[in-house]
Structure formats: C-alpha cells, structure tokens
Chain A
Amino acid sequence: MKKSGIILSSIILSSSLLFAGKSSFINQDTKVFMKSDAKKEIGKIDTATPIEVLSSIGNFREIKVTGWASYGFENVLFKDIGQRIFYLVLKDNKTKKAKELAKGTDSFGSEWRKVSYKVWVNKTSLSKKINDIDKKGQELFASRCGACHASPEVQHYTANQWPSIIEAMKPRAGLSSQEAQFINKYLQRKTVKGSNHE
C-alpha cells in the first residue's frame, strides 16, 4: 500500500497534523468537497462511516473513504459486497477519480469494486469514537420506536432492510432525517453481527 506516500503528501499540504493518519468516524451526514476551500460540493458522506484523516487545512480535513461499489456505479460506496450500508455518495462518476483496490462478485452474479476516494469535510463532522454515534442511535431507537407499537427486535430485519423500514416509519416516529440516520446506523451495525438472513 502507498499509505506512507499519502501521509507524506499530507504533511506537505497540511498546516496541522492533529488528525493526520488517524482513523475516525463521520458523526453526522455531511457534505463532501473537492478541495479544502469547500467551494465545490461533490456529494455526501453518511453518519458512522469509518474514514482516515489525511491532512488538515483550517476547518477542513482531507479524508480517505474506502468501500465497495457496484461496477459502473463507483460513485456510491457501501460497506461491503451486497451489504448496503451507505458510506459515500458522490454526485457523479467523473468529478472524482476512484482508486480501485479490489474486484468481487456477489451471489447474484453482479460485479463489485473495492475503491477509495479522497475528499474534504468540515472538521466538526468527525469523531474519534463510534460509541458516541452508536449511543445516539440506541437512545433514539429505544425512545421513538416503541411508542405506537411494541419495539421491534434488532434482529427482526437485516442491515439492508432497516433503512427502508425506518424511512417508512420516520414521520410517525417524529424523527428528523439525521435522527433516522443515527437509528439506521446503530441498527445496521448491530444487525451485521449475527444475522441469519444473509
């Protein structure tokens, strides 16, 4: 891997090394930018996405996101092959060039690509610990998803299914889009461990 090279270039670019090379998480759905001046918005990155901080200029951080995408749709990154936990959605396939890391095929015969991107985000959307993000989702799930009906068990739906379920229930549970995302990400993380579905 060329990790050292990336870090080296980030040392040259950055005015601060506070976060450089560190693993971190996106703490809320946020815009991603082409450059540190935040002038050109190129897409969005999802809550709870694991990232690596490469460099820092002012309030902005350059981050690396790695995930799996359907072949031909490399601008939409998921956690894994066939596991649709959204990471990064860029507006198109051209503005940013993906770095291809691996190839794969899912059980339905569709081709996937493991790719990474380097993009810029505001530093306020980064957190060092996933637990803080998870906790928000856990609390919201407990307090909002058992008001009309009995609270469903986390394993009742799969990681792929949960976002559709939450999207449907969002207005009735009194959830803002961001709150729904906290719940989604919490449920998806929990479901992935020990699902019997696929």
Chain B
Amino acid sequence: MSNIKRRDFLKGSSVAASALLINNLSANSLISGPIANQSNKISGSHFGAFRAHIKGGQFTGVTPFEDDPLPSPMINALPDRTYSKTRVEYPMVREGFLKDGHKSDTSKRGSDKFVRVSWDKALELVTSEIKRVQKDYGYKSIYAGSYGWYCTGKLHNPQTVMNRMMKISGGYVGRIGDYSTGAAQVILPHVVGSIEVYEQQTSWPLVLKHAKNVVFWGANPMVTCQIEWDVAGHGAFPYLEQLQKAHKKGDINVYSVDPMRNDTAMYFDSTEIRPKPNTDVAMMLGMMHYLHTSNQYDKEFIQKYTVGFKDFEDYLLGKIDKTPKTLEWASKICGVKESVIKKFAQTLKDEKSMLMAGWGVQRADHGEQFHWTLVTLACMLGQVGVPGCGFGFSYHYSNGGTPSADAPGLGGISTNINSNKNGPWKEYKPYNIPCARMVDMISNPGKSIDFNGRKIKYPEIKMVYWTSGNPFHHHQDRNTMIEAWKKLETFIVHEPFWTPTARMADIVLPATTEIERDDIEVIGDYNSSHIIAMKKAIDPIKESKDDYEICRLISKRLGYEKEFTDGKATQLDWIKEFYETSKSQAEQKGVKMPSFEEFWEKGFVKFNVKEEDKNFTRYEKYRNNPMLNPLGTPSGKIEISSRVIKKFNYDDCLHYPSWIEPTEWLGSKESKDYPLHILSPHPKYRLHSQLSNTWLRDLYEVKGREPIWISPKDAKKRGIKNGDIVKVYNKRGSTLAGAIVTNNVLSGVVRIEEGGWYDPEEPGKDKTMCIHGDVNQLTIDKGSSKLAQGNIANTALVEIEKYEGVLKPISVFNKPEIIQGL
C-alpha cells in the first residue's frame, strides 16, 4: 500500500518542509480500490464478534458472527468509527509544549492548538521525556495506571504493552482495582473470601429451573451484557428470553429494585421497587429487622455457615445505637412503603429466590456496605448454595451465568521481562494507588491515605502516560481534575480518536483500531465458548501505528528493543505462542484443537459445554461441606462481622454492615440547594465513552445533547418540557443536556448515562460549562471509605433549569485546531 511507502519516504524528513508533498500523498492514499475487490475478515470487539466486509481495501460493514445469539447494534458503528472525523491521523504535539517542552504553560492544555510532527520527532520527544523524568525524579513520578476499556485482543492490550515499555524504562506508579467495582472488590474478600464480582455465577439453566423470584437489584443486564472484557458472546440473552417467557406464564416473578425503570425492567415488565438512590442498605436492614423480629430468618444457616452475626444483630435491633432498624425506620430513609418492604422480605423468604445485584449501587459513598448487607440478607434467607438461589453479583456483567465451555485458557502479553541484562527495570518495585484516587494523588503529593488496613503515601507525579482510556470522561469531578492536571509537566496519550483526553495531551500518538491489526481473543469472559482470530482487514488509517509498535519503537530508542519484543520478530509470533500454549493445555485435558495454521485460516475454535458446567451452583461445595471447602476468610466462613475490619478501626466502614449517610443524598441538608439526585448508569449504545463519536449518537441524543431523564413532577416544577435543553448544575460544575420527561425515573432523581464526551464551552476557562452532557461535571471525587477508596459516581445532588442562553455548536466531534508546523 501507498501508506507504507509514504512512511518510508517521510522517515527523518521535516514535515513542515514537505507539507505540500504530503498533502498530495495523503490524497493518493485516500483512493480506495474497486468494490468488487472484496473479502470478509473475522474479527472481534467488546461488543461482539463479526465478519468485516472489506470492499476495495476499506471497512464498509459487518455481519455478526454466526454463533452470536443476540448481536449488539454497536458492531454496526465500527466502520463509521474507523473513518470518523475524530481520528487522530498523525503524531501531534501541543503548540506550547513543542515550543517550551516540560516548562510549558500547562493551563493551556485543552485550548492550545496542535502541531503535526513526524513520527521521528514524536518518538524522540516521548523517549527523551521518559528518560528525563525517570532520571530527574524516579519512577514514582510517572503515573501509568492508564485505566480504560479500549479494545480486545491478547497482544494489543495498550495498557499492558505501555506498562511493559514503561517498566523497561525504569518503572511507574500503577493502580489498584478499578472504577467498576472499587468498593465491592475490596469488601467482599473480607466477607466471602473472594472478590465475587468477577466470578462465574450459578448457571442460568438452574436459575430458570429452581427460582421462583429473580431480583435484579440495581442491575441492568439487557444493556450491560452487550459488552464483555473479552469478545462479547451474548450467551445470557437466550436465558433472559426464557426468563421473560417464564415470567409471562407466571412461573417466575421478576423484580427490579432500582430508582429507575431500566431496559431490563422494561423487558420483563418487572415488579418495581424504587428506593431513593444510595438507600438500599437501609431498606435491606428493614427487611432483615422484620425477618428477625418475626422469627423467620434461617438460624441454622447463620449458625453453620457464618460468623459474627451477634455484632450485626445488636446493631440491627438497636442495641448499639438505640435505633432499631424497623420497617418504619427503613421506609423513612428509602421512601418505599413499609408494607412493600415487608411483603418483599416475606416473598423472598417464603419462595426460592435469586438476588442478582449490580455494581452501580456500590459506586456510592460507603458503597462497601451494599454488597455486604446483601450477602447478610441472603444468609438470613438461607438459600446461599442452593441450586438457582442465593445471590449473584455478576449476572449483569459479561454474560455471567452462561455455562462455561470446556476450554483451555488463553494467555496474553504481560509486563514480565525475560532478560539477563541489568536494565533500569531491575530497580523497580510495583507502587500502586487505588485507581479512583488518581486526581487526589496528583493534587496532593506526599499525602497519606488509608486503604484496606494500610497507609499509602502519594508520590509527586510529574508525568502521566495514558493508552486505551479516556479519564476525562470516566473520572469524577471534571473541574477538579482539570485543575490538578495543570500540576503535571507532561501528559502523553496514545489514541485513535480525539477524545476529551487526547485534547488535554501534550503529545498524542495516533493508534490503530482492532481492524487494523492481527490479534487473538476469547469469546465470553466466563463461558469461553470460542477462541477467535482477530484479523487485520485494512491498513492503518493515515499514519496510525499499533500501540505495540509504538512501544517497541520507544523501547528501541531506550536501548531495549529485544527486552520489549522478547526476541520475537513479528506480532504473529506472539499470537502463535499464545495459541500454542493454549493448545497444549487443551491437550492435557483431552480437548482437541487444530494447528495454528488451520485455526488462523478458519478463524475460530469452538468448545463444548459439559453437563456438569450446566449444573454449576456457586457455594454448593461450601454448603455441602464448609470444613472441606472453607472460604478464603479468616474463619473460613461467611463473615457477617469482620474482626479484621474491626482492627482497622475506621469510622466510615464499621466491622458489620451498617447504614451510614452518604455525603450527599435526598435526606441531606445539601438537598435544599440541590434537590435532585443524579445517577450515571452505563450507556445503552456506548461502552462508557466509546462510540460516542459515531452515528449511534443519533439514536439517543436530544438536540445533539446527552439525554437527561426527569420525572414529570420535577419537570413541571421547573417549567421543563420534553425535548428542552436544560442546564444541570451544582457547586462543582455544570453541563447542558436534553430533557426526557418520563415516569421511568423516580421523582427527585435524574439520570444521565456516563460517557458523553466532554465539550467545554470555553476551553481553558475555570469551571466552564460542558455543552454536550458530561455527567462527571457534577459528580464528587471522594473515596467510598478508608477501606476501599472506590469512586462514588452515584452520590451527587444537582439542580436543573431550562437553558435559555446562547447555544454554541457541539465541537468535540470535530478535530481540534491543527497547524501543519511552527
């Protein structure tokens, strides 16, 4: 292709000097071939597997993979995304940074123009910056936690390849945990001995066979099971369909506990219980108080399978704080009628029930309490480990509960360096901070925070390096973040798109998308139904390079190319190695796999599901024999109160599950000024902020803005009508949004899906409004508690008004201002 030739030609030459020539060559590369030159190439994504239609060398459409039972509409937007106006086509440097380097005016991030440079120049700049910061300040001054969800593939994991390169350069500050389950994944190991949130669930066939009640508690699988960490297989959807049928026939009751009527509640026409946001714990305490005082809870289960019930019981009955957690007490807090709470508890007790809880509920102040309380409730109901019953925290994620296939694992690239050289990585010892405290760390170097029984000291960060993520979407409290970012000397980003994050960078290196490179991946995080070839179907767009290739070239400049590549000549060598390891593992367990060449030709291997895996019940072994199958807790049992947490002596996470008022909620004094609780659930037609830059936007936006759900009562009070553009604000920030007036949301609650791209009205101006609908203008940047330090995105109050001001056109879906040279 002309692409390659052009790159060779450009090597080492000054871009500015040959600007005219480039324009001509770029134009040449845009000529596509005849459409009759066509092929179908198999590939995969977080949204599903597909065959890419390649016509005339271009990606023009998709056919869903034949084994996908319910393909997501999102795969249809992939060709659009590939050729999006927002593609970063060439290496770019912020004008001020190109002039003044790390001494630049950092308040210009986000408003400066970008200057196109050659790859040579860009790589030189990046390498010398890494070297400078490593040398002057050491590895604890580089934050490379680089959280994000971009792309599937065992080789092209941009976070991992970047961490590999950064480790070679001397190390970096990394992250602990994630944004999804920050609170739950720290509390649950204390309670049930494992993280629980990323584990296979009791199989759907057993749920459908045994459960009389299925409760979706803050869970919306109809939306969130569209995506998976590996290639999405959508295995849960046929079971959800069966559940719908059983519900219609009256065989299984489906409940939704959520302040909103989400897609799942709509699909099942569920019986809805709508507690006020962040009050689920209070509601559950009311349920448990009722079960306890009416002498209905499962004492035998508590006795045999749990420890520490007594301390919780004292709290529940009010012996500790003189407040019995009665139905009346609970109802006052959560807003659900006493009779409804009582009936719900009674039903769950009387009939076989499965509580499927989501994670949004724990992305809240004291979010740890939600899952702990729910486990406690499930123990009092006594159905944990019974086929199809109990609790499950991952039915809404990655199609949990879809029976696992008898497949081998598939490894991927890692940060492990095989080398006898005494390189800079030898001195590096992992130093990580809780993921969502990133901005707090940058703002407060030297500060010490509590985390799960230990203290962590924030280092002084000088450089941030990001690949495959969009922190200027996912992090809470945008304006505090923008302020913190000014402290950084250097911010480097690899990106295929001009995301809000790329726009804040000093150096942007154009990265490829999945369809522009070869890779290998599993379909189905939990059920591993297939291993799939992700084939390169088109050449990289403009001057994009794979993250792997970018990091190889930087490692080469650092003098350690071989350490980075592990001596492998090509990317396919890695892919083949992952496959061969998997194949030999399969052989050990008597599963046949074709040779790599046959696999690559065919495009996938499919694995069979064994009968025993269709009958998997979580905690069944534990229930059968808790002594032989102890849990990973100190007692080996479910810990309703925890001595370990008691020793930590935290005021915001006691040693038993309890209701602790969030910093903002509908019952707090802040609700006088900001009377609406804002929630930011997962989007239906995006993966977080991904695909916001495609036509899918047209399926949901209101007058080009992210939609906000508001109840008719709240809308009327403010003179807001369906389709109005509104300003949503609090003391932290403000954003425009398009109003959808609907009964689908509880009065007093509003909802903007997370992930709408941040589009500042006046870039660079303090606390400027977002004109598009970035919900994190409004959220709070605070840890859930000293225990987990998870984010609290779903704890925030706002006010809304009809927007009468001048409407600036949305610009975040165009390129920023680019100049061809200084």
B-contacting residues of A (Cβ < 8 Å)? 70, 72-73, 76, 82, 84, 89, 106-108, 110, 139, 142-153, 155-158, 160-165, 167-176, 196-198
Contacts and interface: CB of A to CB of B under 8 A. Distances in A.
A194 B411 CA distance: 31
B189 A198 contact: no
Given A73-B628, A84-B630, A161-B194, A170 B416 contact: no
22 contacts: A82-B635, A82-B636, A84-B632, A108-B635, A142-B415, A145-B414, A146-B160, A147-B160, A148-B157, A150-B159, A151-B415, A151-B430, A156-B176, A158-B632, A163-B632, A174-B408, A174-B410, A174-B412, A174-B578, A174-B585, A176-B585, A198-B634
Nearest to B451: A156
Given A107-B643, A165-B189, A160 B454 contact: no
B409 A174 contact: yes
Contact of A147 (B157, B195, B581): B157
Contacts of A142: 414-416
Contacts of A168: 194-195, 198-200
Interface string B636-676: 10000001100000000000000000000000000000000
Contacts of A144: 411, 414
Interface residues of B, number: 57
A165 B163 CA distance: 23
Contacts of A173: 409, 411
Contacts of A171: 404, 407, 409, 526, 528
Contacts of A169: 198
A107 to B, nearest CB: 7
Interface string B563-591: 00000000000000010011001001100
Contact of B189 (A89, A107, A161, A170): A161
Contacts of B195: 164-165, 168
A174 B632 contact: no
A147 B198 contact: no
B518 interface: no
Interface string B406-433: 0111111111100000000000001010
Interface centre among B200, B578, B632 (most CB of A within 10 A): B632
- In this complex, the member of A145, A171, A175, A198 whose beta carbon has the largest number of chain B beta carbons within 10 angstroms is A171
B412 A147 contact: yes
B627 interface: yes
Contacts of B724: none
A196 B453 contact: yes
Nearest to B230: A172
Contacts of B415: 142, 146, 151
B175 interface: yes
Contact of B307 (A73, A108, A145, A147): A108
Q: Give the interface SS of chain B, mostly helix, strand, loop or mixed.
A: loop
Contacts of A170: 409
Contact of B633 (A89, A143, A160): A160
Contacts of A163: 632
A-B pairs, top 8 by smallest CB distance, nearest first, are A174-B409, A164-B194, A147-B412, A174-B411, A164-B632, A161-B632, A143-B416, A142-B416
Contact of B632 (A150, A155, A162): A162
Contacts of B453: 196-197
Q: Which of A107, A161, A165 has the most CB of B within 10 A?
A: A161
A61 B432 CA distance: 46
Nearest to A163: B632
Contacts of B636: 82, 84, 160
A9 to B, nearest CB: 31
A150 B409 contact: no
B454 to A, nearest CB: 6
B528 A160 contact: no
A165 B194 CA distance: 6
B198 to A, nearest CB: 6
B414 A147 contact: yes
B178 interface: yes
B581 A150 contact: no
Interface in B430-454: 430, 432, 452-454
A129 B130 CA distance: 41
A50 B207 CA distance: 43
Contacts of A197: 453, 634, 644
Interface string B190-226: 0001110011100000000000000000000000000
Contacts of B307: 108
A70 B628 CA distance: 9
B423 to A, nearest CB: 15
A143 B164 CA distance: 11
A24 B786 CA distance: 43
A196 B644 CA distance: 9
Of B178, B200, B630, the most chain A CB neighbours within 10 A belong to B630
B774 interface: no
A96 to B, nearest CB: 16
Contacts of B410: 174
B379 to A, nearest CB: 16
B525 A146 contact: no
Given A163-B632, A168-B198, A150 B163 contact: yes
Contacts of B630: 84, 160
B254 interface: no
A161 to B, nearest CB: 4
Contacts of B528: 171
Contact of B193 (A72, A73, A164): A164
A174 B582 contact: yes
B368 to A, nearest CB: 16
B171 interface: no
Given A162-B632, A170-B409, A174-B581, A146 B199 contact: no
A151 B199 CA distance: 18
A179 to B, nearest CB: 8
Given A143-B416, A175-B409, A198-B644, A150 B145 contact: yes
A45 to B, nearest CB: 15
Nearest to A154: B430
A172 B307 CA distance: 32
Nearest to A167: B194
A79 to B, nearest CB: 13
Interface in B517-547: 522, 525-526, 528
Nearest to B307: A108
Best-buried of A82, A89, A143 by chain B (most CB within 10 Å): A143
Given A146-B415, A176-B585, 12 more contacts: A110-B635, A144-B411, A147-B154, A149-B178, A151-B415, A155-B454, A156-B176, A160-B632, A168-B195, A171-B409, A174-B582, A196-B453
